[in-house]
Amino acid sequence: MSKTILITGASSGIGQAAALALASTDNCLILVSMKNKEGLENTAKKAKEKGADVLTFSADVSDYEACKSLLAQANEHFGPIDLLINNAGISHIGLFQDMTPDEWQRVMNVNIGSVMNLCHLVIPSMVHRHHGRIINISSVWGNVGASCEAVYSASKGAINSFTKALAKELAPSNIQVNAIAFGAIETPMNAWLSKEEAEALADEIPAGREGTKEEAAQMICMVADAPDYLTGQILTMDGGWI
């Protein structure tokens, strides 16, 4: 059965890999990016080559009205959302005491605000149809916290708690809500690491390396196709790291 799938943060990294893994003649993709329009169009081009029908939106998903507008257009074109993948996220590296209120609010607005915005807007249709899945992309730092990433960790911890609570609300309507807490994945978010720092990080991971974005996408596809009884879970994929 064909699905209408919305993926945020689809211009690069895990979001792009997930879009390409899910791209097929059976699926309609709504791909969203906040800033990287070139990367978004590149993702769309590759997805279309695999047979998917694709819509793209450059939108700030931390803004409720922007989310409302893009969903109205997507619904008019494809119909209601079957699978929502909340992948948009930003990080901030540094001591919490050196952050400004604007900086920490921006991280929270993008990382958890976007999840709440899009869930709030897609859920009514899912409840009406007794059908739908939501996958929230989290981090191992949401599980255990990370020094010099206090607000990022807080935002991902909020995603974890929100996922568990929302799953309980929506289970009676046959809607599955899960999160995937990824460890170190080779994405642009980790590109700031020097070669030496990347090697030191790999030495900390029992698997001996960072995960690939393709492996992350494979995990997303597995959760998307999992039995209906899987809901309210924070599934960790980190090479045995944490």
Task: Classify the C-alpha dihedral 201-105-33-19 as positive or negative.
Answer: positive
Which of 152, 155, 158, 184 is flagged as catalytic?
152
Q: What is the DSSP letter of 110?
A: I
Q: Please report the DSSP string for 152-193 in residue order.
A: HHHHHHHHHHHHHHHHHHHGGGTEEEEEEEE-SBSSGGGTTS
152 carries an active-site annotation:
yes
Give catalytic residues, as residue numbers.
152
